[in-house]
Structure 1
Amino acid sequence: MEQSTFKSRTVAENPRTGALLENVEAVRSIAVAVEGTLGPKGLDTMLVGEMGEVIVTNDGVTILEKMEIHHPAARMISQIARAQQEEVGDGTTTATLLAATLVEEGTKQVGRGVPVAKVIAGIRRGIQHALEGMQKMAHPIWDLKDEWLQGIAFTAGREQEDVTDLVIEAALMVGREKLLEKNFRLSEAVTAHPRVESGVFSGLLVKGERLNLQVSDTKELPRILVIGGDLTPEPVETQSEAGFRKLEENREALLSAIGKLVESNVEVVLVEGEVDPLVEDRLSSADLLVVSQISREDINRVAEHIGARILMRTSLSKPIAELEAFFGMAELVECEERLGCIRVISGAGKSFATILVSASTEEVVRERERIAKDAAAAVQAAVRGGFLPGGGAAELALAREVEKHRDLVQGTEAFGVSAVAEALHRPMSQVVANAGFNPLEKVEEVKALQWKRQSKSLGVDCDRGVISDMVDMGVVDPLPVKYHALQAAGEVSTAILRIHTVVPMKGIDAR
């Protein structure tokens, strides 16, 4: 009732806030969809499709990507999840709750008569102050055997010990240098299947179409050629008789080049595109394992792993001595018929690791894969940026710092800074609520004890409901996850608060 009164009173006093209040309601509905999944005691959400398909998950990005969303402001919030996932691979629920709380708190300040522009300016100041505080608070990780890394994987992996062990083993296998590479994603190493044994191996699982089933499905210490594009005759522009003759000439030239390739003792050929049937037959007769229709991403990764250079069809006519510079090596290449993949194990180039996760059913295995990817992303983020106390403890400590900063801000911008401080209470409040305790009581108790002990790591033990040091408990979160979540939440919330009115475009059914 109080909420309805606030809404009607504000609209009556200032009709311009109508669009803003509508946006608040839409944003709140998004937050409600994911808030129950946060923390170690968070529960799952069941997503049901029109045809009866079911997804059971507590992964925020999956919920937001799969749920039906119509309101444009709600879509803006849901895009945070995608951005957060692409950037660091974890923390989507936290980012969503922070953004929703910032919008709600900012709207309350507008309802009290504070100009929107001042609220937005204050939010930006508060966010920047909190981000700077996060960086000062972070603890670096230099050693991949650091016990904190184990805790991070355990927390992000929903406290599943087998997933934690697999992710840590994979991180050790690829090494710190690889984890720090800008374009490398450890989470992409995760593959799940209901009929595979969980484990980690040094190498890659490459999806493709195996062409010659009569050839041996295992090659030890093979020489491997990676071909970009199609392994087909060079096409001709016309379909005239002369064009057909030219096509046959091109095919003969390709077959001649393949004959030289066979003489080079290559044993495995990986092709990005299609393979001509006659070429396939020639390669099969020579007992070469041929896999086609491999994605460009996998082609690049496998070439990097085996120390090969990608060869284009037009370069096949090179002398054998020159072709050998393109070959790569691996300890073993074997086919995984159940997965529709091949394993390329222990290549001669850069290190890669593959994490295989098993489960009992297709529904469960998808969720297990998402959990393992979250854990892998969190581990890599921690190696790159260090870690903070988890369980909402870091945000609550930052809220205290933001409140101090607010006292130094002159004018009405201080109200926007207050909105940031309130939003920073939300992660711990939601974690505590999901654990079955009174969030208002517990958060205030933690806040007072943090101030008394001058600690930034005190939080709530979700099993016992007592105040504990999160770092001592091993409950920590990667800095990049927290940093990007707050940064993205600040950007999208201020964008929503700036919306003055919503106008439908021509030809679009605006809701």
Structure 2
Amino acid sequence: MSLKREATSGSEVDERLAALMTNSNAIRAIASAVEGTLGPKGLDTMLVDKFGEVVITNDGVTILTMMEANHPAARMLINIAKAQQEEIGDGTTTATVMASALVSSGVEQVARGVPVARVIEGLRVGLKKALEAMRAQARPVKGLDDPLIRQVALVAGRDHEDIADLVVKAALLIGEEKLKDTSFKFSETVVAEEGAENQVFMGVIINKERMNRQMPKELEQVKVLVIDDALEPEEIDDEALSTEAGFTRYLQLQAEFKENIRKIATLGVGLVLVDRGVDDAAEELLTDAGVMVVQRVANKELRKAAEHTGARMIKRTGLKKGPDELEKYLGHAGRVYNDEKLEQVWIQGGGGKPMATVLVGAATSEVVGERERIAKDAASSVQAAVRGGVVPGGGSLELAVAREVEKVRAGIRGMAAYGVDCVAEALKRPMSQIVANAGFNPLEKLGDVIAAQAETGKISLAIDCDSGQVADMYEMGIVDPADVKLYALKAAGEVAEAILRIDTIIKKREEKETQAKDAG
């Protein structure tokens, strides 16, 4: 009986370890897809769909979100990367690599006999210390003229100087106060277009053209009306329309609608932006009045245009208001221009809030997407640096923090110390991968940096990926936003703990099958 119980217990342990190993392998596979892109010598990844469409990118979150991943643990990691991108806008590759290292180290400890609960306990202690140590090293930037701002843009922009300059120029136009606003996303001001010239301007771009060529192509000192609705008469259902009263009502609504359109023209409105479709009669009347109309404008662009011009968005029923009341809903723009080559409408010099647009040019359609991703990363990093300061890059900070975490281990009793070890190992992974991608031996170079940091007390020492020598990242201008590092480590810790807590994988029944059985 005793032997049977022991055999059963051993089987349960094997099953739990098998679940951990399966999840760990899935996480490792995901990390291996992006780790080769890390650092200045990181290479690109080619993604190909079933139709042969190709995306070539160095952007971690793009690779993760576009790649095919069916394993649930893999999807958990991808969701964490998406959250990092949504919150901070950069650092997804670092978060993925560290999460993989945490999980792999944790599984190794469990395989050696350390209880999962003790590993997780140690992880929490190590991560808490690491995050504290990282926060303590954040160096605030001294305004948008601080040279560190451009260095952040250059590092996040993968050494594209033209993109870094555009992003810094836009940041100066927008201002520090706006960049610190948590509801504002600097990356959303970035637009990339094939054949466009690199530029930054105060205004917004609508990715639609005017409704027809008879409408004016360019206007100056324009009143702007933004309609968050269709510019069409109110509808009457077919049943009501079949009655005399219903038909009379239909004619009345048509007359009211045309009167509202004439009112728009009488108010001197030059630009009308519409969320949905525009009625043929409205198009004709507004064309005759010399009004530029843009229909089916994306809601995000509609809101940006309203904010920039100072217009208050209105529904079609609101057009019934008197002229004096309707005037209060109008915005103003210094210039409106329909660029036929780019198939866009540019709105500049708005009377509302300042709004800069970063227009990134690309020579071919194949590189448009990647140029836009690079610029968005640079913009997100600049905003993060303004909010939370900067830290040295190149994996130097993580390595220095790993040494601090190792000091904590000495004071931990019991098996939780092995969980602390997992955090220290994960913190070494970014530099190790950066060095490997540059073609150097990670073990050798990590040893050199650890010795140099300990000897000099400088946490900013790492490896120059060109020479392979130990160098000061601050002196080289290799800096990262502190918030990117903090969020990446925090996200990695959360997904690692979630994965390590799973000891059984059970396939769910299909919903239809469940409902059929319940009905039976």
Cα separation, 2, equivalents of 1:360 and 1:45: 20
State the partner residue of 1:7.
Answer: none
2:139 matches 1:139: yes
TM-score (norm 1): 0.95
1:13 CA displacement: 7.0
1:410 CA displacement: 2.1
Instruction: Give the counterpart letter for 1:240 in structure 2.
Output: S
State the partner residue of 1:5.
Answer: none
Once the two structures are superposed, residues 343-395 of structure 1 have per-residue CA deviations (whole angstroms, 9 ceiling, x without a partner) of 11121111111111122221111111111111111111111111110000010
State the partner residue of 1:58.
Answer: 58
State the partner residue of 1:347.
Answer: 350
Unaligned runs of 5+ in 1: 1-9
Cα separation, 2, equivalents of 1:245 and 1:197: 55
State the partner residue of 2:378.
Answer: 375
1:420-499 to 2 correspondence within 5 Å? 420-499=423-502
Contact 2:123 2:493 in 1 (8 A): yes
Cα separation, 2, equivalents of 1:245 and 1:502: 65
1:117 CA displacement: 0.9
State the partner residue of 1:401.
Answer: 404
Contact 1:430 1:439 in 2 (8 A): yes
Cα separation, 2, equivalents of 1:245 and 1:341: 41
Change (3 A) 1:28 1:278: same
2:406 matches 1:388: no
Q: Aligned with 1:481: secondary structure? A: helix
Once the two structures are superposed, residues 372-428 of structure 1 have per-residue CA deviations (whole angstroms, 9 ceiling, x without a partner) of 111111111111111110000010011011111121222211111110010000000
Cα separation, 2, equivalents of 1:42 and 1:12: 42
1:292 CA displacement: 1.1
Cα separation, 1, equivalents of 2:53 and 2:361: 21
Once the two structures are superposed, residues 458-478 of structure 1 have per-residue CA deviations (whole angstroms, 9 ceiling, x without a partner) of 111111111111011110000
State the partner residue of 1:250.
Answer: 253
Cα separation, 1, equivalents of 2:362 and 2:299: 29
User: Alignment RMSD, CA only?
Assistant: 1.5
Q: Aligned with 2:320: secondary structure? A: coil
Contact 1:233 1:250 in 2 (8 A): yes
2:24 matches 1:28: no
1:128 CA displacement: 1.5
Change (3 A) 1:319 1:74: same
Once the two structures are superposed, residues 439-496 of structure 1 have per-residue CA deviations (whole angstroms, 9 ceiling, x without a partner) of 1110111011111111111111111111111011110000111111111110011100
State the partner residue of 2:514.
Answer: none
Cα separation, 2, equivalents of 1:251 and 1:331: 34
Cα separation, 1, equivalents of 2:432 and 2:255: 71
1:62-461 to 2 correspondence within 5 Å? 62-237=62-237, 238-241=240-243, 242-461=245-464
Change (3 A) 1:466 1:267: same
1:79 CA displacement: 1.6
Which of 312-321 and 159-168 deviates more?
312-321
Which of 498-507 and 147-156 deviates more?
498-507
Cα separation, 2, equivalents of 1:304 and 1:36: 41
Cα separation, 1, equivalents of 2:316 and 2:31: 52
Contact 2:209 2:340 in 1 (8 A): no
Instruction: Give the counterpart letter for 1:20 in structure 2.
Output: L
**Percent of aligned pairs with the same residue?**
51
1:114 CA displacement: 0.8
Cα separation, 2, equivalents of 1:300 and 1:72: 37
TM-score (norm 2): 0.93
Q: Aligned with 1:316: secondary structure? A: helix
1:208 CA displacement: 3.2
Contact 1:209 1:293 in 2 (8 A): no
Cα separation, 1, equivalents of 2:70 and 2:140: 42
1:340 CA displacement: 2.8
Q: Which runs of 4+ in 1 moved over 4 A?
A: 10-13
Contact 2:118 2:415 in 1 (8 A): yes
Cα separation, 1, equivalents of 2:15 and 2:279: 68
Cα separation, 2, equivalents of 1:158 and 1:452: 31
Cα separation, 2, equivalents of 1:121 and 1:355: 46
Aligned positions, number: 499
State the partner residue of 2:516.
Answer: none
Instruction: Give the counterpart letter for 1:179 in structure 2.
Output: L
Instruction: Give the counterpart letter for 1:422 in structure 2.
Output: E
Cα separation, 1, equivalents of 2:333 and 2:278: 23
1:316 CA displacement: 1.3
1:11 CA displacement: 8.7
Unaligned runs of 5+ in 2: 1-9, 512-520
